[in-house]
Each structure stands twice: as C-alpha cells, then as structure tokens.
Amino acid sequence: MSVPGNLVNTITMPLRWGDMDAYGHANNTVYFRFFEEARIVWLASLELGGPEEPTGPVIIKTSATFLKELNHPATVEVKTYADKAGKTSLDTYHLLTDVDTGAVYAEGYAKIVWFDRKTRSSAPLPDTLRALATT
C-alpha cells in the first residue's frame, strides 16, 4: 500500500469487544474513530489546536477505503501522513494495519482546515504543520 505524504505519527490501539457490530466485525464508524484518535494524538504531540487555543483543526472532508475485515481480538497501528498544504488546510492520510500480522485493514483521508474559534472562519495553517507537508 502506498499512502501519499510524509509519515508524521504512529500509534497503536486495541480493538475493543464493543467496537464490533451485529455482523461480528468492527463497525465502519470504528475505523473513523481510530483515524480521529491518531490525528488528535499527533496534533497534541505538536502542542497545536488544543481546546484552550484560539485556533484549531476542523475536518471538512473524510473518507475511508475498507480493505480487510477487522475482528476482535486485534491491536491496530495507525500511521498518519501529512500531504499537501494550502493556505488554511492540510490533506492527511491514514494507514490502519494489524500490529502482529501487518495486514492492511483500511486507508483513510481527512482534510483539516485550521479554524478561528472566535470568528468561526478559517485561519492560516500553523507553520509547524506546513513544514511537515509535502508542498
């Protein structure tokens, strides 16, 4: 699998029993939660966009390609990649794999827009994020 951008963060998380649905596999929303957690951990590690900050990230577009069924028990690894940066936005990608086997469960995408919480409008992307992007 080839995910665009620069690798910026990797986290591991267990799949919880309650993450599975009536069909016995991880519900599709769980994949998005894994991607969300990976983004939040990454941005926190950069000390960017916390709830007390005047600006922070919002997601304006997200998608996932589900490649393999995810079943309990499993521990997953989520790699986050920073790709193209705009004036106020950053394209990010995620790769969700099995820690033990390396099997690829899903690929994800999220367009982050930097947001001014007071004016409720977009704000310039922080230089820290721009420096991690591919363009």
Distances (CA, A) of 117 to 5, 80, 100: 28, 25, 41
Q: Do the domain assignments include residue 1?
A: no
Contacts for 44 with CB less than 8 Å, ≥ 6 apart:
50
Q: Do the domain assignments include residue 76?
A: yes
Query: Which residue has 């420096």 as its token pair?
Result: 131
Q: Domain range spanning residue 74?
A: 6-132
Number of domains observed in the structure of the chain? 1
Q: Do the domain assignments include residue 100?
A: yes
pLDDT at position 25:
87
The token pair that represents 2 in the structure block:
């080839």
Cα angle, residue 8 at apex, residues 121 and 108 outer, rounded to 5°: 70
Alpha helices, DSSP H, located in 14-106: 28-45
Q: Do the domain assignments include residue 20?
A: yes
Alpha helices, DSSP H, located in 21-114: 28-45
Q: What are phi and psi of 118, to 5 degrees?
A: -80, -50
Are the beta carbons of 88 and 113 closer than 8 angstroms? yes
pLDDT at position 1:
59
Q: List the pLDDT tens digit at each of the 135 positions of the chain.
A: 578 899 999 999 999 998 888 888 899 999 999 999 999 999 999 999 888 899 999 999 999 999 999 998 999 999 999 999 999 999 999 999 999 999 999 999 999 999 999 999 999 999 999 999 986
Cis-peptide into 73, omega within 30 deg:
yes
pLDDT at position 61:
97
CATH number for position 112: 3.10.129.10
